[in-house]
Amino acid sequence: MRRYVFGHPIETEAVLEKPPVTTDVMTELQVGASEEFPLTFSMEMDEDDIVYGLGENVRGINKRGWLYTSHNSDDPNHDEGKHSLYASHNFLLISGKKHLGLFFDTPGEVLFDVGYQHYNQLVISLPEGDVEVYTMEADSDLEVIRQFRHLIGKSYRAPKWAFGYGQCRWSYMTSDEVREVVQTHRKMGIPLDMLYLDIDYLDAYKDFTTNPKTFGDFDALVSDMQKEHIHLVPIIDAGVKMEDGYDFYEEGKRKGYFCKDENGEDFVVGVWPGDCCLPDMLNDEARAWFGDGYKFLLDKGIDGFWNDMNEPALFYSRKHLAEVFEQVGSFAEGNLDIQRFFEFKDMMTQISNNEEDYKSFYHNYKGQKIRHDKVHNLYGYYMTRSASEAFARLVPNREVLMFSRSSYIGMHRYAGIWQGDNKSWWSHLLMNLKMMPSLNMCGFLYTGADLGGFGDQTTEDLMIRWLSLGIFTPLMRNHSAMGTRMQEVYRFDAVEKMKGIIQLRYRLIPYLYQAYEKAINEDTMMFYPLGMVYPTDAIARRVEDQLLVGDDVMIAPIYEQNAVGRVVYLPEEMTLLRFRGAELVEQTPLPAGHHYVEMPLGDVCMFLRDGHQLQLARIVDSVADLDWDNLTFV
Ligand code: GLC
């Protein structure tokens, strides 16, 4: 492991115990500069090298052939043309004759050209010349990962119940609706452990409140749910509503805990409630204050949270909006020719998450005034850390579930993440699968995607197929956006099939949880690309749509509409385990090689490695009832 320092990097706290700085000239990468960038790193790759990493991002498990940018972005309409998603995870692993790990630790933007301009060239460019670079070489990919993970510290450990099934919707509008959703699951025998509360449980979208009209019985709701073994998991948003008389806002304002504009005034942005201020999560005192806000819900018995809009997502800033309002009238007159029309349109579409806005407010970070864009990628990390540190202070004996939308490496010690606003698209099901190992490498083990898809209209078969993948991911949550088809599994004709798949999840929890704990304890992964486990198998190294889950089983999900089976590659002899719903109905040993395996809707196939075993629990309605000692072994 080597650590190089370039310029004057801003501390991120991704790494807590740093190795000494290497003063030798860097040999792993060529250091340079270009017209556009004051600092670049490059290397020639072999034709056969695979480049793993970059955590939450678009495209393949092998990242070659595209450009990626570290810039935490709120983008519910992302597709494979994008370069950034909600998080920045600047770790790469070049796997070929050598095994080289690279970590670029900087809170600002980083551009990764992974064989995009030139297939054999890796070029990393920094708009600012400040970064700490860690390099790791070892005899295997997994050893590089172990070293990297050791460097960044142990991953967050979620409670066991967080491996149950969760139901979410933007939004369940009243406590009665929440009760009804839970009761329907219970009545129909569909297992459930978590019911998520989206923004409408809040009073006018104000953090750390509850809506007195629609959730007037919040305390009773929490305790009634607890009796049913249901954990309510409320959302917390980064922006704090500006409203006189709202205690939390007034306190933040009085104490100077919000991000400031260049004149030292609170910077005003728009999120759900309209005008908001952004807590300065990077300021130690403000961070402790924001974390203390969670006490309101902890005191009510809440033990799970999801942190949102923490890229931070900005609908608008008051400053920029004033400019827009000033100019917009001028477009009402005269002809809107191509130029004028697009000027008008761009003005409108660039109101949200505007880059100029990110350059218009400041943090007080470690006693220094720092412009937001220089530390942009840390905001979600520090918001989530504020909560985690508060839990340790306020409820040291409570196991708390928490995951965030935005993140940076380092945050993996405090919480999990979900994969952001996806769509009910088959391509996003596949993306969910591909992201799992990339995230694991970067320390994010408790993770999963919105099952069924968040935006757009899901279909019954997509829901079934996505659940069939989701039963393996630590976070297993069905979530959908306002205005889309209702997505609770009991809304579909095929509810019995879906129920069977969810029951299978519960049968798998002991296996999954031990794989998860092992990945934490041993700084390894829960989801492996085949190439990492069978490094000498040239075919396995190229497989992009199958994964090993834990040490014992391989999965090969269906991700295409109307498919009734698929080709599966077995790097070694394996036993096909076919589950019809929760029941194991077939065990067929198959030789190594390619096989076409039928997978009708409702069948879940797993492939058990030769000489390995899989433990299965009995079907239960919630993790609290799970019998961890009486397991069946296959
Ligand atoms: C964001 C979140 C999504 C949530 C919505 C409303 O888009 O990513 O999960 O449902 O906000 O709170």
Ligand 1, atom nearest to 405 Cα:
8
Q: What is the DSSP string of 440-503?
A: HHTT--SEE-EET-SBS---HHHHHHHHHHHTTSSSEEE---TTSPP--GGGSTTHHHHHHHHH
What pLDDT is recorded for position 276? 98
pLDDT digit string, tens, across residues 38-74: 999 999 999 999 999 999 999 999 999 999 999 999 9
Ligand 1 atom closest to residue 421's alpha carbon, by position in its atom list: 8
pLDDT of residue 447: 98
CA of 542 to the centre of ligand 1 (A): 35
pLDDT in tens, 74-132: 999 999 999 999 999 999 999 999 999 999 999 999 999 999 999 999 999 999 999 99
Mutate to test the pocket of ligand 1, among 73, 75, 201, 421 (most ligand atoms within 8 A of CB): 421
Name the pairing type of β-strands 362-365 and 231-237: unpaired
Of the three residues 372, 389, 418, the one that is the final residue of a domain is 418
323, part of any domain: no
Which of 120, 152, 184 represents a domain boundary (last residue)? 152
Half-sphere exposure in the Cβ direction for 243 (13 Å, CA): 15
* 403 Cα: distance to centroid of ligand 1 (angstroms): 13
Element (H, E) at 594: strand 593-598
Would 335 be classed as within a structural domain? no
Pick the closest to residue 258 from 228, 233, 237, 238 (CA basis): 238
Could you please report the per-residue DSSP string of 190-228?
A: ----EEEE-GGGSSTT-TT---TTTTTTHHHHHHHHHHT
Total number of domains in the chain: 3
| Tens digit of each residue's pLDDT (9 = 90 or more) over 338-353 | 999 999 999 999 999 9
Query: Which pLDDT band, with edges at 50, 70 and 90, does 582 fall under?
Result: very high
Measured from the Cβ of residue 555, the count of other Cβ atoms closer than 10 Å reads: 21
Tens-digit pLDDT profile for residues 536-574: 999 999 999 999 999 999 999 999 999 999 999 999 999
Instruction: Indicate which residue's Cα is closest to atom 5 of ligand 1.
Output: 170
pLDDT of residue 377: 98
Question: Quick one: CA torsion of 266, 268, 269, 275, rounded to 10 degrees?
Answer: 120
Spatial separation of the C-alpha atoms in residues 486 and 112, rounded to whole Å: 39
First to last CA, the chain: 41
Let me know whether 76 and 219 are in one domain.
no
What is the spatial distance between Cα 339 and Cα 425, in angstroms, rounded to a whole number?
34
User: According to the model, what pLDDT value does residue 9 have?
Assistant: 97
What gap in Å lies between CA 407 and CA 310, rounded to an integer? Answer: 8
Nearest ligand 1 atom, CA 171: 10
Instruction: Please indicate whether residue 421, judged by its CB atom, sits closer than 6 Å to ligand 1.
Output: yes
Does 394 map to a domain?
yes
Residues 630 and 523 occupy one common structural domain: yes
Average pLDDT over residues 11-32: 97
Please tell me if the CB atom of residue 199 comes closer than 6 angstroms to any atom of ligand 1: yes
Tell me the one-letter amino acid at 443. Answer: G
Q: Whose CA is nearest to atom 9 of ligand 1?
A: 421
Are residues 367 and 468 located together in one domain of the fold? no
Average pLDDT over residues 419-442: 98
Q: Looking at the structure, tell me whether residues 586 and 531 fall in a common domain.
A: yes
Q: Tell me, yes or no, whether 41 and 165 share the same domain.
A: no
> What is the pLDDT confidence band of residue 267, given thresholds at 50, 70 and 90?
very high
Is the CB of 235 inside a 6 Å radius of any atom of ligand 1? yes
Mean pLDDT, the chain, integer = 98
Residues 101 and 84 in one domain: yes
pLDDT at 369 (0 to 100):
98
- State whether the beta carbon of 237 lies less than 6 angstroms from ligand 1: no
* CA–centroid distance, residue 131 to ligand 1 (Å): 32
Of 363, 384, 418, which residue constitutes the final position of a domain?
418
The atom of ligand 1 lying closest to the CA of 76 is: 7
pLDDT of residue 195: 98
Indicate whether residue 170 lines ligand 1 (CB < 6 A). yes
Q: Read off the CATH number of the domain in which 22 is found.
A: 2.60.40.1760
Which of 74, 171, 353, 454 is the best mutation target for the ligand 1 pocket, counting ligand atoms within 8 Å of the beta carbon and taking the most?
454
Residue 57 has a pLDDT of: 98
- In this structure, are strands 131-138 and 50-53 parallel, antiparallel, or unpaired? unpaired
Average pLDDT on 140-156 reads 98
Residue 587's pLDDT band, with cuts at 50, 70 and 90, is very high
CATH number at residue 215: 3.20.20.80
Domain-embedded: residue 525: yes
Arithmetic mean of pLDDT, 370-381: 98
Residue 556 is predicted with a pLDDT of 98
132 occurs within a structural domain: yes
Using the mean position of ligand 1's atoms as its centre, give its distance from the Cα of residue 170 in Å: 7
- Which pLDDT score, from 0 to 100, does residue 37 have? 98
**Ligand 1: which residue has its CA nearest to atom 3?**
421
Residue 480, domain CATH = 2.60.40.4040
Kindly state whether residues 180 and 44 are assigned to the same domain.
no
Mean pLDDT of the 524-531 span: 98
- Residue 124 falls inside a structural domain: yes
CA-to-CA distance for 207 and 168, rounded, in angstroms? 19
Q: Are strands 110-114 and 99-105 parallel, antiparallel or unpaired?
A: unpaired
Both 105 and 243 in a single domain? Answer: no
> Which of 78, 307, 308 has most ligand 1 atoms within 8 Å of its beta carbon, as the pocket-test mutant?
308
The answer to whether residue 425 sits within a structural domain is: no
Q: Does residue 240 sit in the same domain as residue 361?
A: yes
Pair 139, 227 in one domain: no
Q: For atom 10 of ligand 1, which residue has the closest CA?
A: 170
424 found inside a domain: no
- 208 and 276, same domain (yes or no): yes
Together in a domain, 414 and 463: no
Rounded-to-integer distance, Cα 624 and Cα 512, Å: 16
Give the number of the atom of ligand 1 that is nearest the alpha carbon of residue 450. Answer: 9
Helix (H, G, I), strand (E, B) or coil at 408: strand
Task: Provide the pairing of β-strand 131-138 with 231-237.
Answer: unpaired
Domain of residue 107: give its range.
2-152
For residue 567, give the 3-state DSSP assignment.
strand
Name which residue sits closest to atom 7 of ligand 1, judged by CA.
421
The two counts, helices (H) then strands (E), for the chain are 15, 37
Instruction: Give the position, in ligand 1's atom list, of the atom nearest the Cα of 198.
Output: 12
Averaged pLDDT for residues 291-315: 98
